[in-house]
Amino acid sequence: MAPTNPLEIQEIIDLVASYVDIKDLTTCIRVSKNWYDTFLPHVWRVVRAGLNVDDYGVDHPIGPKRDAIDDHRHLIQDLTLVKKIGGFNKYQYPNMHRLAVYMNESRAHHSRLFMNLTTKAPMLVDLTLSGGYIPSIFWIALSKHPHLKHLSLAHLTFKADDALRLWRTCMNLESLQMRVVVVQRRDRPPRNMVFDRLRQLTYIGATWLDGSFFLDIVVQSPRLESLELTAYGHWIFLDPPTAIGDWPYLKKVFISGWKEDTNMDFIFKRVGQGQQNTVGMEGASHSGLGTQQAMVFGSHFNALVDVDLLTTWATSRSIIPDILCLCPILERLLAKRVFARSVAERGPWVCRHLRELRIQFVFDEGEQDLQPQMFERLSTLVRLERLTLNYDYSSHRDTYYGVLECRLDRGLGQLAKLQQLTSIRLYTPKSYWRNPHLGMEEVEWILENWKKLKLIKGKLTDDEELRIQLWNVFESHGIAVEKS
């Protein structure tokens, strides 16, 4: 017989509990004996314990007391321990799937703690460790753990003798994340060691400390589906990898802050050429893309879907025209300034799948005749939903550059094909730039042709009285105006 009380159906209980915070769950278990039995497992499912630091730098205990842990440890599935963690190592956690340990570096030697948490949590799947040094014996035990699939390491230092044990642990993983992990003497994984279960790999850190061994992990993981590399530091010193790899299953690539051309070339030229899935790149604030790196990315332009160049401080002059002309499945491009002349000298755009474009066309003196051609190129992007123009204010004060003027006498009428456009942002540059200056004629054209437009942003004109009139007209037609 089917239960008549909804709180007897486990799926409904789980759904209700997912919308209730821990404070209200604690209140629920005080309502009745039935509610106590129903909601108690959800109160103890996720536990955070140890010490917390307040705004004045003072540590305060958080989480349940130890005797309460002992009574309910079989209900804990997700446990986070912060700083003061030694008292939790004596208990068995038979159903714990996730464990996160954030150590106080001054108390980094917790041999018994780590051994107990590993051996007494037989169902552990996801482990996060941060801070200090972890004893060798722990990695021996962890490499034999039957269920561990996901490992995240941050701010850890490995002695050379421990590196091999770490690599053996990685052989059983499906995902690995390393954030500022230092291996003394940069001991690399042996060439005959293959991480054939690894699907997701993330590295964040200073490459001059530890980048070399990480590239070897990349090479020796043939079934990678997701690769994210974020590096920082003024200088990059990476030795060549010790082996050659291919990744036929790779669907996602994210790279930020890597300056070294040879390593970029090494990765991108070996990605499975038959895969045309989400492959993106991003330049970090200290990176930039030089000419050689542009060529490296060019070998994979056919698979680029999302490109963000906003944080790069230097790019080769040809990279943005190349992306527009060579990326057939591109859906999003966030770029800075591009000289109109370099765009005009290239072939037609092939990125007909673009849904979002953020760009600034720059015109030198005497190049205003190129404005209709820029509008003609934009008119081919018939799937475009979000368009941002003239937002990049950076320029030398003694240098004149013109911007794309969104007026009908410059070629705006060619954009009537952009029927999917929902937002357009027209930022007004500084005084030494030429302003776009929309008028009532342009506003009437926009209302007639862009039926799906919901948002327009920009100063639009320097005439204060006219500007208010334009804003009022847009708002009266249900188009929001963000006044910059």
According to the model, what pLDDT value does residue 317 have? 62
Q: Is the pTM of this model over 0.85?
A: no
pLDDT above 90 covers a percentage of the chain that reads: 20
Q: Find the mean pLDDT for residues 243-248.
A: 66
Question: Confidence class of residue 120 from pLDDT cuts 50, 70 and 90?
Answer: confident
pLDDT band per the 50, 70, 90 thresholds, residue 414: very high
Per-residue pLDDT, averaged over 213-223, amounts to 81
- Render pLDDT for 328-344 as a digit per residue (tens, 0 to 9): 888 998 887 888 998 99
Residue corresponding to tokens 């790779």: 250
Q: How confident is the model at residue 287 (pLDDT cuts 50, 70, 90)?
A: very low
- Beta strands, E only, 364-420: 386-389, 402-403
Helices and strands (H and E) in the chain: how many: 15, 19
Q: Are 362 and 395 in contact (CB under 8 A)?
A: no
4-8, 301-305, 319-323, range with greatest mean pLDDT: 319-323
Contact call for residues 443 and 436 (beta carbons, < 8 A) = no
d(CA 474, CA 458): 12
pLDDT greater than 50 at residue 482:
yes
Mean of all residue pLDDT scores within the chain: 76
Answer yes or no: is pLDDT of 207 > 70. no
Most confident of 80-94, 109-123, 198-212: 80-94
Query: E strands of 54-195, at which residues?
Result: 59-62, 78-82, 98-102, 126-132, 150-158, 175-183
- Provide mean pLDDT across the span 176-199: 81
Highest mean pLDDT among 100-114, 255-269, 465-479: 465-479
What is d(CA 43, CA 375) in angstroms, rounded to the nearest whole number?
Answer: 59
Question: Of the candidates 291, 299, 295, 298, which has an alpha carbon nearest to the alpha carbon of residue 315?
Answer: 291
Q: How far apart are CA 226 and CA 231, in angstroms?
A: 17
Task: Categorize the per-residue pLDDT at 111 as very low, low, confident or very high, splitting at 50, 70 and 90.
Answer: low
Report, as an integer, the average pLDDT of 441-460.
Answer: 91
- Extract the tokens encoding 355: 């849904």
CA pseudo-torsion sign 298, 301, 302, 303: positive
Between the alpha carbon of residue 8 and those of residues 4, 11, 14, 54, 367, the distances in Å are 8, 9, 11, 41, 74
More confident residue, 390 or 272: 390
Highest mean pLDDT pick, 2-11, 168-177, 226-235, 422-431: 168-177
Alpha helix positions (H), 312-463: 319-326, 340-344, 371-378, 440-449
Nearest to 230 by CA among 242, 246, 251, 214: 214
CB 97 within 8 A of CB 124: yes
Residue 419 CB contacts under 8 Å (≥ 6 apart), including other chains: 382, 450, 451, 452
Of residues 102 and 175, more confidently modeled? 175
Strand partners, 99: 79, 127
Say which residue, 405 or 152, is predicted with more confidence. 152
The residue among 373 and 51 whose pLDDT is bigger is 373
Backbone φ/ψ region at 283: left (φ over 0), alpha (ψ -120 to 50), beta: beta
pLDDT band of residue 298 (cuts 50, 70, 90) is low
Tokens 């486990």 correspond to 10
Cβ neighbours of 146 (radius 10 Å): 8
Q: Which residue type does 239 have? A: D
Amino acid at residue number 47: V
Q: What is the pLDDT of residue 81?
A: 83
Q: Distance (Å, rounded) from C-alpha 76 to C-alpha 235? A: 45
Q: How confident is the model at residue 206 (pLDDT cuts 50, 70, 90)?
A: low
Q: Read off the tokens for 62.
A: 């958080």
Taking the C-alpha atoms of 301, 304, 309 and 310 in order, what is their torsion angle to the nearest 10 degrees? 160
C-alpha span between 317 and 339 (Å, rounded):
8
| Percent of the chain scoring above 70 in pLDDT | 68
The structural domains of the chain, ordered by start, are 317-484 (3.80.10.10)
Supply the DSSP string of 173-201, one letter for each residue: -SEEEEEEEEEGGGPPPPTT---TT--EE
Does 211 or 93 have the greater pLDDT score? 93
- pLDDT value at position 353? 92
User: For 119-123, 261-265, 298-302, 309-313, which range has the lowest pLDDT when averaged over its residues?
Assistant: 261-265
Separation CA 469–CA 466 (nearest Å): 5
Amino acid in position 94: P
Is it the case that residue 66 has pLDDT exceeding 90? no
Contact by Cβ (8 Å): 243, 267: no
* Residue with the larger pLDDT of the pair 414 and 319: 414
Range 156-170 average pLDDT:
81
pLDDT in tens, 343-375: 998 889 999 999 999 998 888 878 888 999 999
Q: Quick check: 79 and 59 in contact, CB under 8 A?
A: no
Tally of residues, the chain: 484
76-80, 111-115, 146-150, 173-177, range with the lowest pLDDT: 111-115
What confidence score (pLDDT) does residue 145 get? Answer: 87
The separation between CA 307 and the C-alpha centre of its own chain, rounded to angstroms, equals 12
Q: pLDDT at position 290, please?
A: 42
Nearest partner of 126 among 107, 142, 139, judged by Cα: 142
The two structure tokens encoding residue 243: 């082996």
> What ranges in 44-81 are assigned the alpha helix state H?
66-72
pLDDT at residue 286 is higher than 50: no
Residue type (1 letter), 473: V
